């Protein structure tokens, strides 16, 4: 791929956009329905690609990557006509005579969507739903790390969607740098905070608006009154799904000292229940995406106390579900996002202590609290800030089509899913329409005497 090729793709998409055909309801609904057919008809293609790239189990692929995209598509197809309708705005008395005001959602133009490697179908095609619903063309850049998935996305998009409105570009860091050098009307990036900074810097050169879906250290807080049996199951799933390579996955656990030993035992039991005594043979445990991440993760285990797991095989990029206990607060595993199957469990004296730890750090993409006490639940939600949160659960908030998903602060900016995705890829334009049959002189100078008094009072 060359810069010339990217420029040619962009010009082709801009030419399509200028025709106005992507703005129509018929085009948008047609493309959304085509994308929906693609998700159904190419299910095996996507699942096989995920298995090849990450050793992802078929069921896990269907219930994560594919299910979220399908849910968002169903919601968009159902509500698109309503989303596109102009919104009437109440006029102030002084402006209301012979006038009306509407807010119209207009497309932004040509968007750049940069997908992530950990859920390469969901995090590439998910934002595309909002772009299509909003009436935009799009350049789609899948992550180069899951190679089979990148090829599957490119093939599928070319087979099902308007070739004059969408372009899939492949490549690594050099190609992505060239792609970012171009001017877009919107950029949607999913990835790590360090790369997010690079994308944001590139966007500023053209004053391009953008959404950044990043990550961070998302904690699970377990209170002494929690249902520990349920908490253990949901935390283990929230941690080790996709071998821990989940942006909203549980990064670490903070548990009140009084129940810490009990929870640790239950977590160990659930790890064995989920993945067996030899997790390497489990069909439900994915592999690490590449050697660099494998080496980083093994380094994070280091000399910390391992309660279960810790086994690894570089040739297969396998790391067993690992739980660390009594981890020193200054350990490297507690200072960076883990993004792998390593779960530190930290004992705290109280929930306020856990809250303070969260508040002192960067705002996470997700936060999970386990407690039966509604007052304590509200206290944690009120005192902490995170992109999203679950009470007595993990992960599932991402699967609600009509609820926003996005980060805050270090974990990102902007939201999508459902109407929020449509709003992300459109501009809210205020349009006032006034009759010419009524034209009171009160609004025009010179302002003198009673005319000035009335004008001032009315405003």
Phi and psi for 254 in degrees, rounded to 5?
-115, 125
- CA-nearest of 212, 117, 196 to 415 is 212
pLDDT value of residue 206: 96
- What distance in Å separates the CA atoms of residue 140 and residue 125, rounded to the nearest whole number? 9
> Between the CA of residue 14 and those of 7, 204, 314, 426, what are the distances in Å?
10, 21, 46, 16
- CA-nearest of 112, 255, 253, 91 to 179 is 112
- What distance in Å separates the CA atoms of residue 345 and residue 267, rounded to the nearest whole number? 10
pLDDT value of residue 459: 66
- What distance in Å separates the CA atoms of residue 283 and residue 305, rounded to the nearest whole number? 27
Sequence-separated (6 or more) residues with CB below 8 Å from residue 390 = 366, 367, 368, 369, 396, 397
> In this structure, what DSSP letter does residue 129 have?
H
> In this structure, what DSSP letter does residue 405 have?
B
> Between the CA of residue 62 and those of 42, 70, 318, 412, 447, what are the distances in Å?
11, 10, 22, 26, 69
pLDDT value of residue 4: 58
pLDDT value of residue 447: 87
- What structural domains does the chain harbor? 3-214+408-431 (3.40.605.10), 219-399 (3.40.309.10)
pLDDT value of residue 442: 82
What is the secondary structure of 53-100 as a DSSP string?
HH---HHHHIIIIIHHHHHHHHHHHHHHHHHHSPEEEPPPHHHHTTEE
pLDDT value of residue 94: 73
pLDDT value of residue 201: 97
pLDDT tens-digit profile, the chain (459 residues)? 445 588 899 999 999 999 999 999 999 999 999 999 999 999 999 999 999 999 999 999 999 999 999 999 999 999 999 999 999 999 887 776 789 999 999 999 999 999 999 999 999 999 999 999 999 999 999 999 999 999 999 999 999 999 999 999 999 999 999 999 999 999 999 999 999 999 999 999 999 999 999 999 999 999 999 999 999 999 999 999 999 999 999 999 999 999 999 999 999 999 999 999 999 999 999 999 999 999 999 999 999 999 999 999 999 999 999 999 999 988 999 999 999 999 999 999 999 999 999 999 999 999 999 999 999 999 999 999 999 999 999 999 999 999 999 999 999 999 999 999 999 999 999 999 999 988 888 888 998 888 888 878 876
Q: Among all residues, which ones are annotated catalytic?
A: 213, 247
For the chain, first and last CA: distance in Å?
A: 59
């Amino acid at each position: 791929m060359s810069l010339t090729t990217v420029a040619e793709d962009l010009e082709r998409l801009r030419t399509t956009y200028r025709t106005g055909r992507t703005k129509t309801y018929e085009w948008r609904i047609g493309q959304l329905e085509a994308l929906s057919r693609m998700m159904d008809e190419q299910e095996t293609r996507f699942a096989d690609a995920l298995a090849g790239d990450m050793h992802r189990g078929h069921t896990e692929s269907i219930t994560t990557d594919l299910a979220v995209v399908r849910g968002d598509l169903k919601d968009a197809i159902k509500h698109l006509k309503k989303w596109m309708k102009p919104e009437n705005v109440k006029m102030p008395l002084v402006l209301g005579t012979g006038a009306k005001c509407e807010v119209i959602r207009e497309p932004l133009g040509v968007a750049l969507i940069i997908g992530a490697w950990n859920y390469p179908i969901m995090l590439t095609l998910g934002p595309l739903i909002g772009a299509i619903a909003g009436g935009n063309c799009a350049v789609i850049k899948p992550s180069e790390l899951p190679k089979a998935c990148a090829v599957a996305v490119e093939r599928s998009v070319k087979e099902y969607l308007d070739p004059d409105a969408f372009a899939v570009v492949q490549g690594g860091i050099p190609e992505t740098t060239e792609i970012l050098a171009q001017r877009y009307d919107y950029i949607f990036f999913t990835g790590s905070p360090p790369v997010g900074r690079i994308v944001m810097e590139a966007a500023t050169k053209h004053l391009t608006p953008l959404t950044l879906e990043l990550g961070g250290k998302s904690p699970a807080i377990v209170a002494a009154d929690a249902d520990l049996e349920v908490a253990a199951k949901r935390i283990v799933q929230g941690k080790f799904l996709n071998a821990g390579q989940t942006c909203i996955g549980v990064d670490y656990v903070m548990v009140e000292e009084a129940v810490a030993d009990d929870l640790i035992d239950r977590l160990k039991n659930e790890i064995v229940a989920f993945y067996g005594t030899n997790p390497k043979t489990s069909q439900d445990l994915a592999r690490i995406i590449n050697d660099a991440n494998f080496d980083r993760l093994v380094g994070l285990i280091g000399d910390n106390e391992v309660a279960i797991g810790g086994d690894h095989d570089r040739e297969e990029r396998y790391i067993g579900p690992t739980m660390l206990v009594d981890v020193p607060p200054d350990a490297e595993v507690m200072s960076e996002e883990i993004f792998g199957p390593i779960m530190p469990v930290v004992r705290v004296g109280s929930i306020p202590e856990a809250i303070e730890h969260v508040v002192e750090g960067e705002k996470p993409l997700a936060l999970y609290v386990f407690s039966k006490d509604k007052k304590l639940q509200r206290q944690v939600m009120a005192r902490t800030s995170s992109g999203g949160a679950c009470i007595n659960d993990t992960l599932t908030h991402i699967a609600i089509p009509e609820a926003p998903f996005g980060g805050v602060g270090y974990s990102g900016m902007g939201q999508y899913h459902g109407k929020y995705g449509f709003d992300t890829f459109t501009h809210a334009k205020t349009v006032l329409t006034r009759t010419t049959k009524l034209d009171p002189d009160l609004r025009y100078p010179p302002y003198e005497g009673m005319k000035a008094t009335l004008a001032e009072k009315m405003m």
